[in-house]
Chain A
Amino acid sequence: MKVEPTAADLVDIARATILSDIVPALPGDPRYAALMAANALAIAGRDLALPSTSEDEIARLAALLDDWSPAADPGEALKDATARLAARVREGRFDEGEARVRLLAHLRETTRARLAVSNPRLLAGRERKAS
């Protein structure tokens, strides 16, 4: 049994403490550094809340890469499939038609998930703009 609270809770309270007790006391450059540290902890907290690899993303990649069979380890499978997809996009195999539509649907979903971790505020702004 690990000692509670563990990673997610500690990251969250460390971030809150930087913002409430440290940032207001700092001028200029140190203040900027403290805000960056708080932002890094916010990203880390969102990242910790997710599984290390997305089964959804692997399934979408498998559908795009018709002749591909995933490795047993999900992390390896995701990396391998992403690299294969990138190479095929570069070859122009998703330039037109149905392939293009399916690729873009996948890229949208993946980018949305990446942005939800890196900067959910920007994602919300973009989704307001789109609707």
Chain B
Amino acid sequence: MIAGDRISLPDPRARAQAFLLKACGASSVAIERWDRLPGGAIQENIALDVRVESGAFAGRHEWVLRTDAPSAVAVSRSRPEEFRILRAAADAGVRVPEPLFVCDDGEGPDFFVMQRVPGVAAGHRLSKDDRLVPDRGSLARELGENLARLHRVTPAPDMDFLGEAPADPARASIASYRRDLDVLSSPRGEAWPALEWGLAWCARNAPGPLPACLLHRDYRTGNYLVHEGRLAAVLDWEFAGWGDPREDLGWMLARCWRFARPDREAGGIGDAADFLAGYAAAGGRATTREETRYWQVMAHLRWAVIALQQAERHRSGSQRSLELALTAHIVPDLEHEILDLTEGIA
């Protein structure tokens, strides 16, 4: 490929090459590896090995290009927005893949480029294999510290694309899940009394709101990389938004994200006490057992609603998929956990 040559074909690799040439202020950019990474039904991640000649980025780099998958549906955040969230998280000291360049030239789907971070994300491996996580207390604390740093980010004008922070996030979520269930009910008249019980319990026990901060909203095992036993980077920021910090704590501690080790409360990889101690040590608010229990219930309700929505995409015929169909069969386990938590058994 000739340096500086502007290719007019909508070939993503050529487009990326031309973009990087400009973005790096280089005399030439060679993309030596271009491999689609596994996973990602909504976003597509491509591993790039890039050689840059001259300019501030001269040298060899291992990067990831993140863009919308061709089959993308109902994307919650655009790639340029996700790039800005990643920037804000990195600036707050959260471990993330360093965001480098964002492209929204309109000549194809938006994308951004970030550092490629080595590590393992797979939840079943991290929960099972002690060689990957030799010191579980230390990883749990790191996850807590890292989350506390994220929660220091508060609503600011340069992040107004995230919308206004809800005045009472718990009640706003309850109202939103009820609307979601009504929409899910409408095609066939189904109803979910156990989920309604969980929502009624949450409405009755709603805590007073805390000042809103930046939430990841999918901060759990499976969405971070562990390298040499340490937290290397938090991934998948497309659900980030303003809310109650305890929502992220409840999500990480929810039984539904413990993979092979339901006995390890912090994402199947460690103890809740270590996770919460790390959170408090880095300036996060101390939380009571009642608070974490409340937000664990909310976590299971949220995942149940999302699972039903995913299954509905299959059932309605809009996206026939075995994986989406099977997601509905996660719901009874979530219902079981909601009953245990609200009765004080779990």
Contacts and interface: CB of A to CB of B under 8 A. Distances in A.
Interface stretch (A5-13, A17-25, A114-122): A114-122
A130 B345 contact: yes
Contacts, number: 93
A43 B331 CA distance: 14
B343 A104 contact: yes
A126 B88 CA distance: 41
B197 A111 contact: no
A40 B322 contact: yes
Contact of B336 (A33, A43, A89, A111): A111
Query: Which of B336, B340, B343 neighbours the largest number of chain A CB atoms within 10 Å of its CB?
Result: B336
A36 interface: yes
Given A33-B322, A36-B323, A118-B332, A89 B38 contact: no
Contacts of B193: 82, 85-86, 89, 103, 106-107, 110
Interface residues of B, number: 32
A104 B200 contact: no
A36 B330 CA distance: 13
A104 B204 contact: no
Contacts of A85: 191, 193
B322 to A, nearest CB: 5
Interface stretch (A48-56, A66-74, A90-98): A90-98
A119 B339 CA distance: 17
A102 interface: no
A115 B333 contact: yes
A69 B199 CA distance: 27
Interface residues of A, number: 38
**Most A C-beta atoms less than 10 A away, residue of B178, B185, B197, B204:** B197
Interface in A15-52: 28-29, 33, 36-37, 39-40, 43
A95 B200 contact: yes
A115 B336 contact: yes
A83 B184 CA distance: 12
B260 to A, nearest CB: 11
Contacts of A94: 197, 200
Interface string B187-224: 01111111011011001100000000000000000000
A39 B191 CA distance: 25
A60 B178 CA distance: 24
Nearest to B343: A104
A104 B270 CA distance: 31
B166 interface: no
B326 interface: yes
A43 B191 contact: no
Interface of A: 28-29, 33, 36-37, 39-40, 43, 79-80, 82-83, 85-87, 89-90, 92, 94-95, 103-104, 106-108, 110-112, 114-115, 117-119, 122-123, 125-126, 130
Interface of B: 38, 178, 185, 188-194, 196-197, 199-200, 203-204, 262, 322-323, 325-326, 329-333, 335-336, 339-340, 343, 345
16 contacts: A28-B38, A79-B190, A80-B189, A83-B191, A85-B191, A86-B193, A89-B193, A89-B197, A92-B203, A103-B197, A107-B339, A111-B194, A112-B336, A114-B332, A114-B335, A119-B330
